[in-house]
């Protein structure tokens, strides 16, 4: 979320490092202050009360602090920690890719003012944007093009099916052998992947 954090560690007994750096299953969720009690009640209703805790709050800026017993035990900027976290990936990318590009990307991560990816909707997400294009009761035939190495074609077909299309799996061999002709379809989608090494 590109924000700072104030984390309270009072619930952790004993040595902090083993508790903070372990491989136990866990999750952290961010909840609006006014929804906190409702979320805790919901978690308790699913038998998770004993392992659900309020860890802290978000804050303006870039600072992350850890506190225990009213004492600050650690403080660092989010940007500095993210830079440390990405060090290995950056060095690997420098070997694998163009080093100048890798360096440029790494430098951008160190900019605390970079807001990261931001979604700015220019439409109402509850509006049925497909309605003007797909007549009710009509299912345009859609060819989902497939070849060796293509992936996500099943998910693509499912998405178009839910949008009102009649999705049909079309393998390149079907077209080459004349078993299927593309003029039988109103739409065509080519999925991602590495068909023949993208040749």
- What is the Cα 102 distance to its own chain's centre? 22
State which residues of the chain have pLDDT below 70: 133-136, 194-199
pTM value is 0.56
pLDDT, one tens digit per residue, over 63-90 is 999 999 999 999 999 999 989 989 999 9
Contact (Cβ atoms closer than 8 angstroms) between residue 67 and residue 73:
yes
pLDDT on residue 195: 59
Contact (Cβ atoms closer than 8 angstroms) between residue 191 and residue 160:
no
Contact (Cβ atoms closer than 8 angstroms) between residue 163 and residue 130:
yes
pLDDT on residue 13: 80
* DSSP result, 43-86: HHHTT-GGG----EEEESSSEEEEEETTEEEEEEEHHHHHHHHT
56-82: b or e for each residue (b if 16 or more CB lie within 10 Å)? beeeeebebbbbeeeeeeeeeebbeee
């Amino acid at each position: 979320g590109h924000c700072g954090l104030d984390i309270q560690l009072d619930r952790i007994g004993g040595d902090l490092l083993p508790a903070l750096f372990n491989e136990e299953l866990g999750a952290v969720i961010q909840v609006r202050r006014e929804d906190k009690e409702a979320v805790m009640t919901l978690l308790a209703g699913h038998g998770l009360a004993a392992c659900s805790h309020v860890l802290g709050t978000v804050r303006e800026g870039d600072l992350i602090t850890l506190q225990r017993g009213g004492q600050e035990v650690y403080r660092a900027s989010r940007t500095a920690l993210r830079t440390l976290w990405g060090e290995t990936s950056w060095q690997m990318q420098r070997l694998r890719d163009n080093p100048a590009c890798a360096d440029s990307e790494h430098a951008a991560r160190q900019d605390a003012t970079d807001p990261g990816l931001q979604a700015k909707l220019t439409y109402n997400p509850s509006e049925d944007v497909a309605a003007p294009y797909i007549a009710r009761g009509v299912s345009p035939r859609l060819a989902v093009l497939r070849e060796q190495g293509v992936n996500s074609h099943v998910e693509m077909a499912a998405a178009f099916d839910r949008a009102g299309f009649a999705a049909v799996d079309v393998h390149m061999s079907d077209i080459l052998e004349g078993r299927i002709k593309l003029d039988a379809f109103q739409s065509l989608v080519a999925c991602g992947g590495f068909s023949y090494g993208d040749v």
